[in-house]
Structure 1
Amino acid sequence: MKYLFSLCLLFVLSFAQAQNVASPSGKIALSFKLEANGQPSYAVNYKNKAVVLESALGIKLKEKPALDANFEILTSKASTFKESWKPVLGEQSSILNNYNELIISLLNKETKVKMNIIFRVFDEGVAFRYDFPKQAELNYFIISDEVTQFNLTENNKVFWIPGDFDSNEYEYNETKFSDIDNSKINMNNGIGVKSIPGKYMVQTPLMMKAPSGLYLNIFEAAVVNYPVMHLNADVTNYKLKAELVPNAIGDKAYLQTPCVSPWRTIMISDDARDIVSSKMILNLNEPSKLEDTSWIKPMKYVGIWWEMHVGKSTWDYAGSQNATNFADAPKASGKHGATTENTKRYIDFAAKNGFDGVLVEGWNVGWEDWNGNWKEEVFDFTTPYPDFDIAALSAYAKEKNVKMIMHHETSGSVSNYERHLDRAFDLMKNYEYSAVKSGYVGKIIPRGEFHDGQSMVNHFNFVVKRAADYKIMINSHESSRPTGFGRTYPNYIAAEAARGNEFNAWSVGNPPMHETILPFTRQLGGPMDYTPGIFEIKMSYYDKNKTEQVHTTLAKQLALYVTMYSPLQMAADLLENYEKYPDAFQFIKDVETDWDESKYLEAEPGDYVTVARKTKGKETWFLGAITDENARKSETKLDFLTKGKKYKAIIYEDAKNADWQNNPIAYKIKTIMVTSKSKIKLNLAPGGGTAISFEPIQ
């Protein structure tokens, strides 16, 4: 149901007159005004306390006068909007979209160019965007800079990663705002391509906690035909300025009216649970453009992937023969993972254990030729290696009622991928592959472009839209981070776009607090394919000389299936490792991936997250609780359960002597009977977690 109320003031307003709009509850208030020189500015209060001080707005254009001053207000239009909508897949079956809107129509007195600034104020925060109407005075134009500022009031605690134009795969730094400094971070972090333009550049979403206890998050929504926004920090004055990622010749965005910028967003609350549960980013995106979404399904999958990371097998076929391309070395090395025989083993495992799909990486020719030389044509996405019988495996998977997941590693050569895209999707449809995992490891081709630039944003969105034509779901890796585009194209089922579990296998890894921050940052824009479920924690299991390890307990790996929302969840470890721990593996088999309701019970960025989720269309619930490097105890009420029903609770928890460093695999499982009046004590080891399934008793 949708409600809309508007009021329009059709007269020129003096620059001195502030325009105000508050959230539906009245807790958050935004004021807009023009400065004496006609520069737009805004400020934000929370419960009558300043949160964002007066901050400049505006756009600078290439070879045209800037749109950052000399404005007068033509009209001011206020309205209220309220609706509920149903996502195809999600953390909850229905989402409330309720905000008050203020549209300020501006006229530049010098150039006569019109620009609107649209403000929306939700109970979770504020959003604003620039709107350029169709007009004779402005048609094609190039953005050279965005003036947008966020002037903060305090030296907040900040959870930040460097503003790298090519990678978001960093571990988070937890510092004061005044201590943001890219020159002090460890760059020996396993990231292959780095493009950090400044000492104080940070990425969004930027999660903060003020000394007063207020939580803030600065992000963006609906990034379409526009570069990603990073933030340049003035660490002395607690100010942030929008920095747009440039293209190969330094321009930021090429636009034509009518057009809009992405939404710039500020979430605000004195309760961290409001931030982590917010659907504001999704609400700022357009509704689904797909009429038929019946083919978009949640999936749990296994795959030929982790075995390459731990050194058991390889992506390439020819291996150590050091071939420059496949044709030069057609003989198999004996280490290739994506063989017909091995893939059948994964299909059998998936069928036996109730998994929906199997991912196979390294199935196609070209991996021998991927040698980091910034080469344009490495993969054709259609030619399998001789030991991978794509037709026979497709038939075998269909017989077992298992879906195959394709892998497209582009090697960063986007131009090559786009040339082959339709043929690659045709191949997928011919062999009934329902989803594709795409990868963008390496520097981008066309050369000089960045992963976060306008052309790459357009590419990522184009692939999703083109895949929808073929009824294919997309799971992108090494892409720009999602900003809610999955609402508009629900076949964008998941993405990586952050530092995933794989880094634990061969780098300094992810610190125990990492997974407690991601729900407050990366996951605000869409589901993350984090690839949890690693049971053999220490890599010395595979090679006694290795010191790397997953920085969690086994019980926390189970809890991640609940705390890290995604409708696409991988059981990432080797099949034989699950067979060694069948009682713990049972939780992965049982846990759902699509939800009617989600309740964030406890949350503190960098410290802990506890969430309970109700299975879509069923009475079963699942709970996940995780902590950072510190052990944690808490008591959780089960009042989210249906009143009057009894439930069997199976609790997967850390053993008393568990520790992510010293004893990570120590866990215990117990079963108790509970109701909505019950409480459960959670005992989390350092780097640990608890996972619980609740099954109603008939």
Structure 2
Amino acid sequence: MKNSITITLLLFAFCLKAQTIQSPSKELTLDFKLAEKGIPSYTLSYKNKPVVLKSLMGIYLKGDTDLATNFKIDSVRTITFNETWKPVLGEQSSIVNHYNELTFCLSQTGTNRKMNIIFKVYDEGMAFRYEFPKQPNLNYFIISDEKSEFNLAGNHKTFWIPGDFDSQEYAYNETLLSEVNTEKINLNNGIGLKSIAEKYVVQSPLMMKTADNLYLNIFEAAVVNYPIMHLDLNPITNALTSRLVPNAIGDKAYLQTPCVSPWRTIMVSDDAREIVGSKMILNLNEPSRIEDTSWIKPMKYVGVWWEMHVGKSTWDYAGSQNAQNTESKELIASGKHGATTANTKRYIDFAAKHGFDGVLVEGWNVGWEDWFGNWKEDVFDFTTPYPDYNLAEINAYAKSKGVKMIMHHETSGSVANYERHLDRALNLMKEYGYPAAKSGYVGRIIPRGEFHDGQTMVNHFNFVARRFADYKMMVNSHESSRPTGYSRTYPNYIAAEAARGNEFNAWSSGNPPMHETILPFTRLLGGPMDYTPGIFEIKMSFYDKTKKEQVHTTLAKQLALYVTIYSPLQMAADLPENYEKYPDAFQFIKDVAVDWQDSKYLEAEPGDYLTVARKDKESENWFLGAITDEKARNTEIKLDFLSPNKKYKAIIYQDGKTAHWETNPINYEIKTMTVTSKNKLKLVMAAGGGTAVSFVPIN
């Protein structure tokens, strides 16, 4: 690791003059000053273009007091920092963390309370946070509000989802800021729990594009012991203000000094590739607290999961809690249960045959008959299998085949119940050698009245990652708050869902073709996503002729998603028998890597297209993924990312001549050619389509 730090300390008795700091490239300029009434404020410009106009800052405390007014500057500290660090798993083997930092140490006239505001300015963006030092006049305190403003310089094109305190599982809307209106959202969208705040509240990360082709993104990093930040929009002035998610009694956060807020981030560039490829969110988190990370491994897996979504089988054993033997009170099997010993062995055999690391099984444990929608506290115990699922036999069989089992913990939102059972569940995993678990949080939260995005739940999700680390296990959370880079600090937090995943295509209005072109600019900035790609039987009428639902991509695009949507935990989500029908296309899923030495974002435009090339961490192989929205697209890619003076066998999986996401999604073709770094590759993508390419050196 390389570190370089330069520190300058300046003392001020009182300062009204704006203080300026620039990014290392000097293209981004931040100005800070105390406005009227001693209110902290800042502006931000990029290449002399205004990005954020004068915006006020401050924290409000419960009891009609604030940390927002009547401040004076006691001192100013500047730091230049430059390091290179190595992630345990990632899109690249090393990450540069280079920024200029400006800290304002403030004291409040009248109360003598202290608060520092820290700015970090990177080449691709700026971040700030509030710091509360240990002090006599501020110990325990309750935040009633945070007013961090982002007064934008124009009415930008925006990719947004509503400010829902319980779910991020929405398709994105593409409108001007002035046209944002959550009341226009189609609520018949398959989301089971909705808690939309108000008409003009949106979620971060918020991706935007200005009329003069600047790309902006407002987000946050290192959310620890604090609620998630949504954004209040004034559609007339283009002003955004932080909106913290409340707890059950309306408070936002309970803190004790010394402590800090999360980082509030603004990314800006005239090149969309710099936004989508940024590691700023990760850089703003603390380094790994796990000393021995040798047990944290990437995984490619299959599982008993998609068959429930398409209606072939069920999670529950009996179909209803009332399906009981009148004398013994034992549940009566419905005959549709998916998580049986025999079916699981079938998936284990498939995984072993095709070189997959693991098998996930959902619905293995008792409690699924009446769990959903009842706000029931004691649902699952996470240790008791159904009668038709022999835990010991299955794990012994998997071990004999060299396959790892992945545990499933659906909490049903009953977090108190999960925490009570967590150590017993982890001990069961340890007994049978499970390396990882997928957790789920479908439903209303218990403790009752809490939201998924509140401080209590943020603390829970982070606690689970830490507790799994104690047992040297990995966790993949679904229906959690969206990640903000905590996987740097706890790299065993290997992935999360926290957005509208592939399963929505099976039983709802689905994900429009542009959806996957937006996720890398939004959700994926905070950490890897378990999107569950790889669906080959696109139309649900394959399973039931009355169904009209379908995946909104071509088959070739499903392959490309393994490269464009980063995760070190990747699922081949379709049924084994569907892959066996298309073995030539399935070969790409078998070949593609999941942990990377390097990544190159070659083309990027949010809502339209994305092309990414990645180099396998364990070999000299490269993989390329290119995706488009509902419009067909032709492009030409330079292959200069390949090693010079080497020849590669390029296997190209592309849309067929008549392919179309809606009318002919399974039409694909595969071709092979020899290429070098001096070549260009023409990519032809159908509407809703994509291209996947593997490059293997020719010795």
Q: TM-score w.r.t. structure 2 length?
A: 0.99
Cα shift at 1:328: 4.1
Give the aligned partner of residue 494 of structure 1.
Answer: 495
Query: Residues 290-305 of structure 1: matches in 2 within 5 Å?
Result: 290-305=290-305
Superposition deviation, residue 320 in structure 1: 5.4
Give the residue type in structure 1 aligned to 2:119. Answer: F
Question: Does 1:163 pair with 2:154?
Answer: no
Return the letter of the residue paired with 2:125: G
Counterpart CA distance in 2 for 1:696 and 1:635 is: 21
The 8 Å contact of residues 325 and 369 in structure 1, kept in 2 or not, is answered as no
CA offsets 1:202-253 (integer angstroms, 9 cap, x no match): 0000000001100000000000000000000000000000000000000000
Q: Give the structure 1 partner of residue 47 of structure 2.
A: 47
Question: Which string of whole-angstrom CA distances, capped at 9 and with x for unpartnered residues, describes residues 309-346 of structure 1?
Answer: 00000000112574499984522111000000010110
Where does 1:228-243 land on structure 2 (aligned, <5 Å)? 228-243=228-243
CA distance in 2, matches of 1:338, 1:61: 50
Q: Which residue of structure 2 lines up, in the alignment, with residue 92 of structure 1?
A: 92
2:10 is the counterpart of 1:2: no
For residue 358 of structure 1, what is the aligned residue in structure 2? 359
Per the TM alignment, residue 497 of structure 1 is displaced from its structure 2 partner at its CA by 0.1
Question: Counterparts in 2 of 1:434-453, with a 5 A limit?
Answer: 434-453=435-454
3-state SS of 1:561 partner: helix
1:374 paired to 2:375:
yes
1:328 and 1:520 map into 2 onto residues whose CA distance is: 52
SS across alignment from 2:12: coil
The aligned amino acid for 1:523 is L
Displacement of 1:617 in angstroms is: 3.2
Moved more, 448-457 or 313-322: 313-322
Kindly indicate whether the alpha-carbon contact (under 8 Å) linking 1:321 and 1:329 is maintained by their aligned counterparts in 2: no
Residue 176 of structure 2 is matched in structure 1 by 176
Residue matched to 1:515: 516
> What is the CA–CA distance in structure 2 between the aligned matches of 1:269 and 1:467, rounded to whole Å?
38
Q: Which residue matches 2:413?
A: 412
2:660 alignment partner, SS class: coil
Q: Which residue of 1 aligns with 2:466?
A: 465
Residue aligning to 2:531 = 530
Say yes or no: does 1:396 pair with 2:397.
yes
TM superposition shift of 1:399: 1.0
Residue pair 1:324, 1:369 contacting (<8 A) in 2 also: no
User: Unaligned regions of 5+ residues in structure 2, if any?
Assistant: none
Matches of 2:229 and 2:370 in 1, distance apart? Answer: 34
**Partner of residue 263, structure 1:** 263
Give secondary structure in 2 for the equivalent of 1:446. Answer: coil
**Does the 8 A contact of 1:189 with 1:507 survive in 2?**
yes
What is the one-letter code of the residue matched to 1:110?
G
CA contact (8 A) 1:71 1:106 kept: yes
Deviation of residue 36 (structure 1)?
A: 2.6
Answer whether contact 2:325 2:331 (CA < 8 A) is retained: no
> 2-side partners of 1:458 and 1:324: how far apart?
39
**2:569 — aligned with what?**
568
The amino acid of 2:46's aligned partner reads Y
Do 2:221 and 2:262's aligned partners in 1 also have CA atoms closer than 8 Å? yes
Q: Match for 1:507: what amino acid?
A: S
Q: Which amino acid aligns with 1:511?
A: P
Could you tell me whether the CA contact under 8 Å between 2:622 and 2:694 is conserved in 1? yes
Contact kept in structure 1, 2:323 and 2:332, CA below 8 Å: no
Q: Separation in 2 of the partners of 1:13 and 1:666?
A: 70
Contact 1:364 1:384 in 2 (8 A): yes
SS of the residue aligned with 2:37? coil
Query: Could you say what secondary structure the match of 1:488 adopts?
Result: coil
In structure 2, how many angstroms separate the alpha carbons of the residues matched to 1:88 and 1:686?
A: 37
> Cα deviation per residue 1:613-652 (whole Å; 9 max; x = unaligned)?
0000311000000000000000000000000000000000
Question: RMSD across aligned C-alpha pairs, in angstroms?
Answer: 1.1
Distance, in Å, in 2 between the alignment partners of 1:234 and 1:502 is 34
Secondary structure at 1:170 match in 2: coil
Q: CA deviation at 1:693?
A: 0.2
1:253 matched residue in structure 2: 253
Could you say what secondary structure the match of 1:120 adopts?
strand
Taking a change above 3 Å as real, the CA distance of residues 203 and 328 of structure 1, as seen in their structure-2 partners, is farther
Match of 1:449, SS?
A: coil
Question: C-alpha separation between the residues in 2 aligned to 1:293 and 1:325?
Answer: 49
Partner of 1:667: 668
- Is the aligned partner of 1:553 residue 2:554? yes
- TM-score w.r.t. length of structure 1: 0.99
Report the equivalent of 2:132.
Answer: 132
Q: 1:188 Cα shift?
A: 0.4
Quote the residue 1:82 is aligned against.
Answer: 82
For 2:104, the equivalent position in structure 1 comes to 104
CA contact (8 A) 2:609 2:629 kept: yes
1:256-293 CA deviation, whole Å, 9 max, x = no partner? 00000000000000000000000000000000000000
The CA distance in 2 between the partners of 1:668 and 1:395, in whole Å, is 40
Q: Amino acid of the residue matched to residue 206 of structure 1? A: L
Which amino acid letter does the alignment assign opposite residue 140 of structure 1? Y
Instruction: Report the counterpart of residue 68 of structure 1 in structure 2.
Output: 68
Contact 2:325 2:332 in 1 (8 A): no
Task: List runs of 5+ in structure 1 lacking aligned partners.
Answer: none
2:118 corresponds to:
118
Contact 1:65-1:111 within 8 A present in 2 as well: no
Partner amino acid, structure 2, of 1:188: N
Q: 1:133 corresponds to which letter in structure 2?
A: P
Q: Distance in 1 between matches of 2:257 and 2:158?
A: 37
Return closer, same or farther for 1:322/1:402 CA change in 2, 3 Å cut-off: same
CA–CA distance in structure 2, aligned partners of residues 421 and 221 of structure 1: 27
CA distance in 2, matches of 1:395, 1:643: 47
The one-letter code of the counterpart of 2:222 is: A
- 8 A Cα contact 2:321 2:331, kept in partner: no
- SS of 1:485's partner is coil
Task: Establish whether residue 541 from structure 1 lines up as the match of residue 535 from structure 2.
Answer: no
Q: Secondary structure at the match of 2:614?
A: strand
Letter of the 1:184 counterpart = K
Q: Secondary structure at the match of 2:67?
A: coil
Q: Equivalent residue of 1:549, what SS?
A: coil
Q: Is 1:693 paired with 2:687?
A: no
Does structure 1 conserve the Cα–Cα contact (< 8 Å) formed by 2:324 and 2:331?
A: no
Q: Shift of residue 13 of structure 1?
A: 2.9
Mapped partners of 1:366, 1:319: distance in 2: 11
Query: 1 CA distance for matches of 2:323 and 2:186?
Result: 34
Q: Once the two structures are superposed, what CA deviation does each residue of 1:412-458 show, in whole Å capped at 9, x if it has no partner?
A: 00000000000000000001111000000000000000000000000
User: Deviations along 1:166-216, whole A, 9 cap, x unmatched?
Assistant: 000000000000000001111100001100110000000000000110000
Q: Secondary structure at the match of 2:424?
A: helix
Contact 2:324/2:332 (8 A) holds in 1: no
Residue 623 in 1 paired to residue 638 in 2?
A: no
| Structure 2 letter corresponding to 1:613 | R
> Over residues 377-400 of structure 1, what are the superposed CA-to-partner deviations in whole Å (9 max), with x where a residue is unaligned?
010000001111111111111111
Contact 1:143 1:251 in 2 (8 A): yes
Q: Deviation at 1:65?
A: 1.7
1:434 and 1:36 mapped to 2: Cα distance?
A: 56
Alpha-carbon distance in structure 2 between the residues aligned to 1:279 and 1:345: 40
> Which residue matches 2:285?
285
Query: Structure 1: how far apart are the matches of 2:160 and 2:311?
Result: 32
Task: Give the structure 1 partner of residue 385 of structure 2.
Answer: 384
Whichever residue aligns with residue 73 of structure 2, its letter is: I
In structure 2, distance between residues paired with 1:91 and 1:497: 19
Q: How many Å apart are 1:6 and its aligned residue? A: 0.7
C-alpha distance in 2 between matches for 1:30 and 1:404:
50
In structure 1, C-alpha distance between the alignment counterparts of 2:198 and 2:304, rounded to whole Å? 38
Q: Tell me whether 1:634 sits opposite 2:599 in the alignment.
A: no
- Between the aligned residues of both structures, percent identity stands at 73
| Preserved contact between residue 246 and residue 453 of structure 1 (Cα < 8 Å) | yes
- AA aligned to 2:632 is A
1:678 maps to what in 2? 679
SS in structure 2 at match of 1:240? strand
8 Å CA contact 1:93–1:616 kept in 2: the answer is: yes
3-state SS of the aligned residue for 2:291?
coil
Secondary structure at the aligned position of 2:412 is classed as coil
